[in-house]
Amino acid sequence: MWKPEPALPDLHFLLDRAGLTREALLAQYRQMCLIRDFEELIAERYAIGKTPNFNMAAGPIRGEMHLAVGQEAVAVGVCSLLTDADAVVSTHRPHHHALAKGIDPGRLAAEIFGKNTGLCRGKGGHMHLFDAEKNFSCSGIVGASYPQAAGAAFSFRAQGQPNVAVAFSGEGAANHGTFSETLTAAALWQLPLVIVIEDNLYADSTPKWAALASTHQSHRAQAYNVPAYLVDGMDVIDVYAAAKRAIERARAGHGPTVIEAVCYRYRGHFEGDGEDYRTREEVELWRTLDPIERLGKRLIRLGWADDATLAELREEAARDAAQAIAFAEESPLPEQREALMGVFA
């Protein structure tokens, strides 16, 4: 859902209507830079020991790895509107959501490395992050975020709490039955739920056009009497404006909303993915819409930042990401006796 770049007066209008200030946009720029740097460093460390024959059990980070480089605007545009008490349920591709929700980058990195200082003492890994203080969780099961977030939303409403639950998913997950089941219950009970579909055009390696008869999953929301927005997921301002309306609606007790954000992941579905289902030209085309570069250019057009200001923010973000990775690398692995700790079965 790419939109042409607005003229300067139109850009001012969009910002005023969304309530976005210079300080808020600079914070979003820095946050997206942090997420980008963090994930690119994770990619570097993940590759250690896995070549020339790819072995996901080798190296300092083991198991599968799903990165969201290119999708930063969706996470930041939504999560910058949330409080710590609001719930976020993410997916198997969760790092950008976790950082945007405010999770400590060092503890996040340590969890990905399987270290004792991680969010779950190294037992969750990159697909099973949990942080009670930030009310953040995720699941490696595709489509699981919808009912889990609906449960949190039901709890908020039952306890009279003014909070919102957000379920992130990919567009492929919206083809699961959990999407329809959750929309039915959430609309019937008017739950404070926002479903955010990150439509990066590919469900694993299956292109969207080969798996969906309609154009967009957000169109399905109409069948459940749920409002929906289709937004440019490479534009943090567009995402923020739609998310603000959806979250305000949920907090006011008016029920769920679906947001479909069309975006693109620059890396494969997983690290080690051969990516023979798409061309290099397609990837490079989407890179011309890069959300960080677009926001940087807008800040300069608005006169709200210059090259030096943006460079300083990028350096700060790069330093924070590097410190997080260093913290994880220097942290100890869990002791063997901890294998049975936290087991409730």
pLDDT of residue 64: 94
The catalytic site residues sit at: 265, 269, 277
Q: Does any domain span residue 338? A: no
State residue 333's pLDDT score.
Answer: 96
pLDDT band at 115 (very low <50, low <70, confident <90, very high): very high
- What phi and psi values does residue 202 have, to the nearest 5 degrees? -135, 125
Which residues span the domain enclosing 177?
Answer: 18-333
Q: Is 45 left (phi over 0), alpha (psi -120 to 50) or beta?
A: alpha
pLDDT of residue 338: 87
Is 339 contained in some domain?
no
Residue 2 has pLDDT above 90, yes or no: no
Q: pLDDT tens across 187-206, in order?
A: 999 999 999 999 999 999 99
Confidence at 1, pLDDT banded by 50, 70, 90: low
Query: CATH number, domain at 320?
Result: 3.40.50.970
- In this prediction, residues 28-53 reach a mean pLDDT of 95
In a domain, 215, yes or no: yes
- Whether residue 101 contacts residue 164, with contact meaning beta carbons closer than 8 Å, is answered with no
Task: Specify the pLDDT at position 100.
Answer: 98
**Closest C-alpha among 193, 207, 176 to residue 257:** 193
Strand partners, 229: 259
Average pLDDT over residues 162-168: 98
Report if residue 344 sits inside a domain. Answer: no
Residue 89 lies inside a defined structural domain of this protein: yes
| 52-56, 120-124, 174-178, 291-295: least confident range | 52-56
- DSSP string across 256-280: -EEEEEE---SS-SSTT---TTS-H
User: How many structural domains is the chain composed of?
Assistant: 1
Tell me if 286 is assigned to some domain.
Answer: yes
Mean pLDDT, the chain, integer = 95
In this structure, is residue 5 part of a structural domain? no
Q: Say if strands 136-138 and 193-199 run parallel, antiparallel, or are unpaired.
A: unpaired
DSSP assignment of 293-333: HHHHHHHHHHTS--HHHHHHHHHHHHHHHHHHHHHHHHSPP
Which residues partner with 168 through β-bridges?
196
Name residue 98's amino acid: A
Please compute the mean of the pLDDT values over residues 299-323 and round it to a whole number: 98
Mean pLDDT of the region 294-306? 97
- Whether pTM > 0.85 for this model: the answer is yes
Task: Flag whether 345 is in a domain.
Answer: no
As a whole-number percent, the residues of the chain with pLDDT over 90 amount to 90
| The CA-based dihedral angle spanning residues 267, 179, 3, 88, taken in that order and rounded to the nearest 10 degrees | -70
Q: For residue range 226-239, what is the model confidence (pLDDT) as tens digits?
A: 999 999 999 999 99
3-state secondary structure of 125: coil
